[in-house]
Structure 1
Amino acid sequence: MINRVVLVGRLTKDPELRYTPNGVAVTSFTIAVNRPFKKQDGEQEADFIPVVVWRKQAENAANFLSKGSLAGVDGRIQTRNYKDNKKRMVYITEVIADSVQFLEPKGSHSSNQPASGNNYSGGNQSTGRSQSQQSEPSFEDPFANDGTQVNISDDDLPF
C-alpha cells in the first residue's frame, strides 16, 4: 500500500512550534496549494492543508519559515479522531511531513521570485546576496577548481 504526498505551496500563517512532555519538537502549519484550474470568473482556487512536522525538521521549519513562505512538503496523510466537549466525534486529516523544503530565501515572500530549491540540513543556504551582505557564515567549496593541478598518487586511490 502507498501513502505519499508531495505538496508545494505557501504558508497561511507562521508555524507553531511546541514540545511534547518528553521534549520532542512538533511544528504545525497550514499550506495553501493552488488548484490546477480557475473558477469561471478567473479566480484561482486553493486548498488549505494542515501539516505536522516532528523533531529537528520541526525546529528548522519554525525557525526558517513564516507566513507566505514557499515550501515543499513530502510526507503521508494521517487521519485521527476524538470526541469534543459536546460528545461529538471530530475527524482530522493532516499531512505528516517527512521532509520540508525551503523553496525561497528566508524573508522573500514575493511570488515573482524564482524558487531556489534550498533544503536546510545544517549548512549555509545560498540567498543570492553578495558575500558581504550575508549574515550567516559562508563555507568555501573544498572541491572548487582554483586553477592549480591536483597531484594524486596511486596510493591515495581506494581502488
Structure 2
Amino acid sequence: MINQTTLVGRLTKDPQLKNTSDGTAYSQITLAVNRNFRNQAGDFHTDFVTLTLWRKNAENTVIYCRKGSVIGVVGRVQTRSYENQQQRVYTTEIVAESVKFLSGKAQETSSSQEQAFL
C-alpha cells in the first residue's frame, strides 16, 4: 500500500514548538496550498491543510520559518478520532516525514535568530 503526499504551500501563522509529556518536540502547522485550477470566476481556491511535524523537523521549522514562508512537505495521511463533550470527532492530517524550506527571504531573517540561540 502507498500512503504518501507531497505539498508545497505557505504557512498561515508562525509555527510554535510544543512537547509531549515525554519531552518529544512537535509542532502543528497549517499550510495554505493553492489548487491547480481556476473556478468559474477565474480564481484559484486554497486548501488549508493541517500538518504535524515531529522532532528535528518541528525544531528546524520553528527556527527558520515564519508566517508566509513557503515550504515543501513529503508525508503521509493519518486519521484519528477522539471524544469531546458532545460527540466523537474525526480528524485527518498530514504527518511530515521530510520538510524543505523554499523561501530564502524568511530563512535570512531567521538566521540572526538562530545565532541568538548559540
Shift of 1:67: 0.8
Shift of 1:106: 4.2
When the two chains are superposed, the root-mean-square deviation of aligned CA atoms in Å is 1.8
SS at the partner of 1:35? strand
What residue identity is the alignment partner of 1:40?
Q
SS at the partner of 2:42? coil
SS at the partner of 2:104? coil
SS at the partner of 1:21? coil
Q: Give the 4+ runs in structure 1 shifted more than 4 A.
A: 134-137
Rounded Cα–Cα distance in structure 1 between residues aligned with 2:93 and 2:7: 12
Q: Is the 8 A contact 1:73 1:101 kept in 2?
A: yes
Change (3 A) 1:63 1:106: farther
Which is helix-richer, 1 or 2? 2
Deviations 1:97-128 (A, max 9, x none): 011100011427xxxxxxxxxxxxxxxxxx6x
Rounded Cα–Cα distance in structure 1 between residues aligned with 2:74 and 2:30: 14
TM-score (norm 1): 0.66
Rounded Cα–Cα distance in structure 1 between residues aligned with 2:105 and 2:44: 25
2:25 counterpart residue number: 25
Q: Is the 8 A contact 1:64 1:106 kept in 2?
A: no
The answer on 1:97 being equivalent to 2:107 is: no
Rounded Cα–Cα distance in structure 2 between residues aligned with 1:73 and 1:106: 18
Aligned residues: 112
TM-score (norm 2): 0.87
Unaligned runs of 5+ in 1: 109-126, 128-133, 138-159
Deviations 1:6-37 (A, max 9, x none): 00011111112101111110011000111111
Deviations 1:38-78 (A, max 9, x none): 11112210111000010111100111111100000001000
Q: Is the 8 A contact 1:65 1:106 kept in 2?
A: no
What residue identity is the alignment partner of 1:103?
L
Unaligned runs of 5+ in 2: none
Which is strand-richer, 1 or 2? 2
The answer on 1:82 being equivalent to 2:85 is: no
